[in-house]
Structure 1
Amino acid sequence: MNLEETLADYDFPLDESRIAKFPVATRDESKLLVLNRNSGQITDIAQFKQIESYLVPGDVLVYNETKVSKRRVFLSTPRGRIHESVFIESRDPEGKEWICILKNRKKLKLGDVLFPSASENHFCIYSGNEGDLSILQFKEKVDEIDFEIWGNIPIPPYLKRMATKEDEERYQTIFAKQLGSVAAPTAGLHFTESLRAKLEGNGVQFLPVQLQIGYGTFQPLNEEQWQEKKLHKETFEVTAETATILNGARKEGRRIISVGTTSLRVLETIFEKENQVYVAGKGETDIFMSPGDIIFSVQGLITNFHLPRSSLLLLVSTFVGKELTMKAYHHALEKNYRFYSYGDAMLLV
């Protein structure tokens, strides 16, 4: 990291009208910007499915198979006041204590009782705060099955709307398998089953990893996080089969392309630079990368257009450099690309 740089160097003006509030009619028909890291050339592609022209037999696309949980739950007091919440993670093995983002918490007192609106059998106790997060204590275990009954898909707050039935399908990727995230790995939203089949028919290989995405992905960085390179922790898992295939592809000189920044975080976490190998395993990662660091694990990245001053924008800048990243973003603004989760995509090679 250049110590003379600040987060302000990774800011850009973005009118709210440029934020995609809804997805395009068909997943693979969003626009695609292709950026060549070596030449700096930018190419505008009308539809994402034309990405096949930029992929070759032997390429390996690594996707995040996480599935978004219905963690946005409307809690009510005995008198009927509603508190919107997003459950982040359980704090104990029994699944009784949860931390969450809780709206209007100043109106609550310690020990107040809250009921999930769709439940007659469960209730929780408001047990205080930790910074921007709140602690809720349940009498009985709460798990993903409960959230599927009580909750709503936690679409990003910047969409400034309630989730619809369509979001339950469209805010999940075709790869979604393992419940546990509060946000979608948005680069994967551009793929359809037909596009995947076509690419596989062309000799492109798809490999899964898993990262449970936390709400921190939506939060702008502050200067302290920037200087100390501290980021929120997220749980990941990579199977032995995936690691073996990745190592074989690397030895054969095949390109490994990350489908999204979440997959890239996993790959950089499990890649041993000293031995130049991927190591299977599971655990937590708080990896933070910014320009000046070197990404060793991939040769390409598919990604959406991210928030200003965000860790995801810094990760993209680490891969292609700050100047090229900002060049691409300003080009996207000029060419009316759609931004954020339901927006258009970039291929960086």
Structure 2
Amino acid sequence: MAGLIKRYGERVVLDRVDLQVSGGSVCALLGPNGAGKTTAVRVMTTLTRPDGGRVEVAGFDVTRQPRSVRRRIGLIGQHPAVDDVLGARENLVLFARLHHLDRRSAGVRADELLEQVGLTGTGTQPVRTFSGGMRRRLDIAAGLVLAPAVLFLDEPTTGLDPAGRRDVWDAVRALVAGGTTVLLTTQYLEEAEQLADDVYVLDDGRVAARGTPRELTAAIGGDRLELVVADPRRAQEAADVAQRAAVVRAVADPVGTGERVVVPVVRRRGVLGAVVRALDEAGIAVDDVVLRPTTLDEAYLRITGRDDERTEVPA
């Protein structure tokens, strides 16, 4: 995708968006509501025509070759598409028949998919009795009937409990291991951190940042060392000592009944020992110390300015 533009009336929803996804990988598309994620997916799946730019999926142009694109993609929306009354196998046979497979081929394909998403043995058990995770895995299987080269997952774990979410994550990992390329939109930053090889952050219709989860967290300062000082009155002194030991700017930050000292970590190696030794030599007692990685949630909030501070990162 290069220079994608999409307008609705006078409103520009996507403004020259560039996006490239490597084959056999997971790309996560993040952004606040209204950022343009769903519109981008609708363009890539031929459901909406772009107003400008070039968009190719699986090597085919979405505007000039939409039929070729559709033969090579699967799309799993936010809402279940399977029938609650039918069993899992019956659902998949139905989807396969709708894709013009003959009866025997449809049955074979249904059995393959049930094994692929871990739903063998469900028999004729109605889908309405399935857990949320089982139902979502069946949804994913329905989108794989034609073995698509590219699978689009639009917020696949919305409303699922942690166990159901893990079920879906396992199914996605299995698909990618088999060579499927996955483009994922999600509101769960942990999900992107767990699954994505590459992350794009959309904000106001533009790419605000892109990179691996690790690269995005590093862009806002990387890891940090957090210490809780036993005597709050010595917190600023502790920050000064830590700053000299780590050769970075440390800050004191009130927390609970004590005082937390936050030390940004440029290089992990040796910083913990250096700071603790310096505090010990200064006679400053510490109740707790932890080396904590910056999360993708924190990077996302900084990149989009949702924590009242915007960070510039490579786009």
Q: TM-score range by the shorter chain?
A: under 0.3
Structure with larger RCO (C-alpha < 8 A, sep 6+): 1
Name the structure where helix makes up a greater proportion of residues. 2
Larger CA Rg, structure 1 vs 2: 2
TM norm structure 2: 0.23
